[in-house]
Structure 1
Amino acid sequence: MTTVYVLNGPNLNLLGLRDPNTYGTQTLADVQERCDVVAKESGLELIFRQSNHEGELIDWLHEAGRAVADGTSAGVVLNAGAYTHTSVGLADAISGAFVPTIEVHISNVHARESFRHHSYISPVAAGVIVGLGTYGYDAAIQALAHRENS
């Protein structure tokens, strides 16, 4: 079965606790449970991970790129958190691994602090979803499934 990788960056392990007015009350475990349902409904197997370490996220993007190359993955849903605004390394990993990536943000980063308006990920992403809450993960998984089946 084809997989979809859902990768989460720093501080997303704090979902449900960190600023619920911005990020909602769902935990990362809640998000994973919903992603598993959406992936199955879309005919995909889910690989769901979170790390506070940039290098680990880069390693996972490389892994996903190899899986895309061998036909076993549809791509990556990436909520890079704060690394979105700082990491050339993540952008290079996405483009270097040729991995279709949908960038996801729970909040509308464009309605927040100005430093959040710039993304190093967006120029190399297949798509960007912001401000839809955790539903953005659902939409991103469905988008990758659609790309896979088109």
Structure 2
Amino acid sequence: MHRHLSVLNGPNLNMLGLREPELYGSTTLEHIAADCTRMGTELGFDVFFGQTNAEHELVEWVHDAFRRDASVVINPAAYSFGSVALLDALRMLRTPIVEVHITNIQARDAVHQHSLISTVSRAVIAGAGAYGYELAIRVVDRVLREGRV
């Protein structure tokens, strides 16, 4: 049985490596995509990796994950803190959702501390930098292998 994994990224993450490197590091989203695809494939996942600055496109990708019965690793970025549309779409999933943040959002300003998406996530990985994506994929793999969906 082939497993499906969608690694979804919200607004401004296309600017990683250029945008505030003191906060987000120098790793680019292209590098993260390559690492996620490699690791996901090694663990037996068919991987879709996407980034968008458009909320409606992110919601459509979640709908696609629902139709494909795909697990989701998501860095919703700014949509973490105010997108009820994204939250409602993620609620549909019957598969593991793991939320990733490159920075520790709990150590950020008040606007960036409360993620709506965390309420539907199996796990939240924050502050591990780009490595957080690898950890998130490993969590999804472990949850599925142990049958704890």
Letter of the 1:36 counterpart: T
Aligned structure 1 segments of 4 or more residues deviating by more than 3 angstroms: none
Q: In 2, are the aligned partners of 1:106 and 1:136 still within 8 Å (CA)?
A: yes
Letter of the 2:11 counterpart: P
- Distance in 2 (alpha carbons) for counterparts of 1:12 and 1:99: 24
**Residue equivalent to 1:17:** 18
Q: In 2, are the aligned partners of 1:61 and 1:99 still within 8 Å (CA)?
A: no
Q: How does 1:9-48 map to 2 (within 5 A)?
A: 9-48=10-49
**Residue equivalent to 1:63:** 64
- Distance in 2 (alpha carbons) for counterparts of 1:99 and 1:65: 8
TM-score by length of 2: 0.93
1:96 is displaced (CA, Å) by 2.5
Q: In 2, are the aligned partners of 1:84 and 1:119 still within 8 Å (CA)?
A: yes
1:99 is displaced (CA, Å) by 4.1
- Distance in 2 (alpha carbons) for counterparts of 1:3 and 1:57: 17
For each residue in 1:100-140, what CA deviation from the matched residue of structure 2 results, as whole angstroms up to 9, or x when unmatched?
Answer: 21010000111111111111100111111100001110011
For each residue in 1:60-101, what CA deviation from the matched residue of structure 2 results, as whole angstroms up to 9, or x when unmatched?
Answer: 101101211xxxx3x000000000011111111011243421
Across the two proteins, how many residue pairs are aligned to each other? 145
TM-score by length of 1: 0.92
Secondary structure, counterpart of 1:16 in structure 2? coil
Letter of the 2:58 counterpart: L
Q: Percent identity?
A: 43
